[in-house]
Amino acid sequence: MEVQVAVVGGGVMGLMTGCALARRGVDHVVLERFAVGHDRGSSHGATRIFRYLYDDPLYVAMAARTELMWRDFDGVLEMTGGVQIDEPSVLDRFRAAMEPWGVRTKLDAGKMWLDKMGVLSASRAIQLAKERVSVREHMPVESLEVRDDAVVIATPDGPLRVKRCVLAAGAWITNLVDLPVRVTREQVLYFEGDTSAMLPWVHGLGHWIYGIPRDGVVKVAEHTTGAETTADSRSFDLDEAGAERVCSYVREFLPHLDPTPTGFETCLYTNTADADFILDARGPVVVVSACSGHGFKFAPLIGEIGACLALDEPPPLDPRAMSRFESARFR
């Protein structure tokens, strides 16, 4: 079997790359080792925060571009406004980076309200993207053989020969190529209460803790505090110490919520040392991975960049994350 482009990984980045290829009429296939929407990686769950809330002008520009692209996925993005709580100097940096993009903000005693923040329906995004691509589920990729004019992908159904291969394998990326990344297992907890007056928020506490209210339930989680693991050995169990930190936070800052969580989920972050992304090409192989726990909001743009790299087209933005590794050894 031979197709023009194969995308390895059917999480949000792989699916969005597939969508970008499908819009161009490119013969493609997305290979997913489990079923699309599975809970073993980074793309599952009901919601994500969408935000222009960065002190880095590049990521603010990416958010502005991506907000427009989410409109192609009906009902996925709801712009609600949101809040960041942090030191005044930190808030000033964020405000300065967002100001050129017309973001409206209000500062008050260590809190900043901004209009360019909202809630993504993550599971709906996954489903809509799946409907637009050619996907083969339960199709793990065992290895890659990179040739001058093609990539041969080893699968349980036999070799697949493609002109270009996009690796969007998330935490499984290091099974296929050596990259300077580390995988951590994170968790989110859910609390019930009156959410009618609540907005999504990010709270700087040495590390970030964030929340997403929706329909009487609030998702609350720490950002990047999880233990190092691998995609194949990670735990699905509750981290009791981490859960107690989040419950203590709820008791202190969100007294209108029941501080006993009604449920939890685990997920994986694939992290670079500086939290920037890896979006790069080496010969016929494109790497679209390592989004360091803050990539979902940019998925349509990242998919577009991945497709551009695979087709030798100029990307809509040149992210700083290009050329993050000088050489690659594919497995």
pLDDT digits (tens, 9 = 90+) for 201-210: 999 988 899 9
Average pLDDT over residues 167-183: 94
Q: Which amino acid appears at position 179 of this protein?
A: L
Structure tokens at 181: 């990344």
What is residue 326's predicted lDDT score, i.e. its pLDDT? 59
pLDDT-derived band at 29 (thresholds 50, 70, 90) equals very high
Whole-prediction pTM value? 0.96
The torsion defined by the Cα of 116, 278, 6 and 34, in degrees rounded to 10, comes to: -80
What residue has token string 């964030």? 210
**Confidence tier at 143 by pLDDT (50, 70, 90):** very high
DSSP 33-73: SS-TT-SSSSS-SSEEEEE---SSHHHHHHHHHHHHHHTTS
Instruction: Compute the distance between CA of residue 227 and CA of residue 171 in angstroms, rounded to an integer.
Output: 14
- pLDDT tens digits along 241-252: 999 999 999 999
Instruction: Note the pLDDT of residue 281.
Output: 87
- Quick check: 26 pLDDT over 60? yes
Full strand arrangement of the beta sheet holding 117-121: 47-51, 117-121, 77-79
Give the DSSP H/E element, type plus range, for residue 123.
Answer: helix 122-130
Across 150-170, average pLDDT: 96
The predicted structure's pLDDT at residue 207: 86
Domains of the chain in sequence order:
1-79+122-177+274-331 (3.50.50.60)
